[in-house]
Amino acid sequence: MNKIFPQLISAGAIIFIAIFAQYLTPFDPYEQNLARALTPPDSINLLGTDRYGRDILSRVIIGSQTTILSALALLAVISIFGSLIGAVCGFKGGKLDTFLMRLSDVFLAFPQMVFAIAAAGALGGGLFNAALALALIGWTKYARISRSLTLTIRKMPYIDAAKLAGTSSFGILINHVLPNIAGPILVTAALDIGTIIMELAGLSFLGLGAMPPTAEWGAMMNNGRSMLQTASWVILAPGFAIFLTVAIFNLLGDALRDVLDVKNR
């Protein structure tokens, strides 16, 4: 447990900030103050202000809510939905399996980000549509992983033992298959948080995700793009926030992988 404690604390802190962002901002993140526009970091605006004089620290804090909570929600949906599909396919086999796996082949044939850009564009932008675009392609990875894990587990003697015990197919799926694929899926999901945050921010950066004036890290970076040389803090603050968050969740994923390995417990 000690191995994972620092990672859990840091990830927990970030999620805490995201949930209670409203109460943690020193200034109103949306209030404009043109007199102080593009002020470099000082004792009042710790991370400086943007071109409308809005406090960047407050916007980074409130932006964590948009970026992290939507990434986590998206991840929860695709990992649960994808794994269930994969487990049922792997366990039941047959036509359903063939159909869903060919469908996921089709999705996997596109580079993920290219597909997401196209889909988000076609859906008309906005944070929800950006998340939907990522979900459309994101579930396939979980379906694949959980299917192949299920195929291995299905051959284990304890599945035969459960059949002899008289447990139904549904009971076997719930009690024997899912608990044994949950660990690897959780690790995959934890390692995916960073990617999803980057992809959501990336779509916003491209103008296909969160719309102004919503404070979202990718959109904030886009705003600061033209001022990289004159007012670099505008782009560096959200950029560093993305970097830190992605790094922390990736470290958490690595630590989870070590801890959840049954044999190493």
Q: Shortest distance, CB of residue 82 to other proteins, whole angstroms? A: 21
In terms of Cα–Cα distance, which of 248, 240, 236, 128 is closest to 194?
A: 248
Q: Which is nearer to other proteins, 3 or 163 (CB)?
A: 163
Q: Shortest distance, CB of residue 207 to other proteins, whole angstroms? A: 46
Q: Shortest distance, CB of residue 264 to other proteins, whole angstroms? A: 10
Query: Phi, psi at residue 228, to the nearest 5°?
Result: -55, -40
In terms of Cα–Cα distance, which of 101, 179, 197, 93 is closest to 141?
A: 101
Pattern 191-230, binding to other proteins, x per CB under 8 A? ----------------------------------------
Q: 162-201 in b/e burial notation, b at 16+ Cβ within 10 A? A: beeeebeeeebbeebbbebbebbbbbbbbbbbbbbbbbbb
Q: 75-105 in b/e burial notation, b at 16+ Cβ within 10 A? A: beebbeebbbbbbbbbbeeeeebeebbeebe
3-state secondary structure 157-211: HHHHHHHHCCCCHHHHHHHHHHHHHHHHHHHHHHHHHHHHHHHHHHHHHCCCCCC
Q: Shortest distance, CB of residue 192 to other proteins, whole angstroms? A: 23
Q: Shortest distance, CB of residue 187 to other proteins, whole angstroms? A: 15
Q: Which is nearer to other proteins, 179 or 212 (CB)?
A: 179
Q: What is the DSSP letter of 265?
A: -
Rounded Cα distance between 203 and 123, Å, is 13
Q: Shortest distance, CB of residue 257 to other proteins, whole angstroms? A: 16
Instruction: Tell me the site size for other proteins, rule CB under 8 A.
Output: 18
Which range in 130-138, 200-208, 243-251, 257-265 contacts other proteins by CB under 8 A? Answer: 257-265
Strand partners, 28: none
Residues 27-46 that bind other proteins (CB under 8 A): none
Is residue 106 involved in binding other proteins (CB under 8 A)? no
Pattern 114-153, binding to other proteins, x per CB under 8 A? ----------------------------------------
Residues 147-166 that bind other proteins (CB under 8 A): 156-158, 160-166
Pattern 164-193, binding to other proteins, x per CB under 8 A? xxxx-------xx--xx-------------
Identify residue 46 by its one-letter amino acid code: L
Binding site for other proteins (CB under 8 A): 156-158, 160-167, 175-176, 179-180, 262-263, 265
